[in-house]
Amino acid sequence: MASWLFLATESELIEHKKLTLQIEGQYIGLYHLNDHYYALEDACPHAQNFFLLSQGKTVIETVQCPFHNALFHIPSGQCLRKPGRDLIKYDIRLDAGEIYVYL
């Protein structure tokens, strides 16, 4: 059954700009860009969970897989350069300085 689950505090994410989290057995990349927050599937879709995208290079609104160089648009989850596919983008909400994801 899906529910809202705590991810991190806003201050934590603002300090680090991106976080790697594991919630309910799923890896989630949490990003702070241009005063917005985004939660995406974090496991590289090409490598079956062996590489975490949030550990890759972030440039402007994109994140690059640290191994395959696949490129993803953070606000939409769209795959911009293969190998890969579009990422799952999770709904998030803010409540009293805390960030929650709907899983």
Instruction: Give first-to-last CA distance, the chain, whole Å.
Output: 8
Give the pLDDT of residue 49: 60
Give the pLDDT of residue 45: 83
Give the phi and the psi of residue 28 in degrees, each rounded to 5: -130, 130
Residue 57: how many CA atoms within 13 Å on its side-chain side? 8
| 18: nearest Cα among 51, 52, 67 | 52
**d(C-alpha 100, C-alpha 66), whole Å:** 26
Q: Domain-by-domain residue ranges, the chain? A: 4-102
Give the pLDDT of residue 78: 98
Give the pLDDT of residue 84: 85
Q: What is the pLDDT along the chain (103 residues), one digit of tens a residue?
A: 889 999 999 999 999 999 999 998 899 999 999 999 999 999 988 766 678 999 999 999 999 998 888 999 999 999 999 988 999 999 999 999 999 999 9
Spell out the CATH class of 4-102: mainly beta
Give the pLDDT of residue 48: 65
Gyration radius from the chain CA atoms? 13
What pTM, to 2 d.p., does this model score?
Answer: 0.92
